Amino acid sequence: SIPEPSGQHTPPALAAFYMFWTMIILLQVLIPISLYVSIEIVKLGQIYFIQNDRDLYCEKADSMIECRALNISEDLGQVQYIFSDKTGTLTENKMVFRRCSIAGVEYSHEANGMSLQNKTELV
């Protein structure tokens, strides 16, 4: 047990609990609330620039891009791969890699390409 100035003894687990929360409260002062507010203002500015970017205008739908979350720029920064196809994903919930073209060089997967050519569709 840990002696206190009053002469009482505090169990070590309770003393550790008090010490942990005391440190959390003291260290909270190191990161001011104005930093959090500044980060949110920067996110609002990023959303403003994304929504007003003329390159993100869709002529077909006659609409601009719409941001619905403050963390959109953080999420977009984590995108590494975009997979898309014309059919199959929405109708059959299957996406099979057949081939792709990157900078004019075509890469294909022969086994998947052959199996899709031999597939007969049921009507």
Contact 69, 76 (CB under 8 A): no
Task: Mark whether 62 is an active-site residue.
Answer: no
- Distance from C-alpha of 114 to C-alpha of 50, rounded to nearest angstrom: 42
Which of 53, 55, 75, 85 is flagged as catalytic?
85
Task: Tell me the Cα Rg of the chain.
Answer: 29
**Counting beta carbons within 10 angstroms of the beta carbon of residue 43, is it exposed (0 to 12), middle (13 to 18) or buried (19 or more)?**
middle
Contact 88, 96 (CB under 8 A): yes
Q: Catalytic residue positions?
A: 85
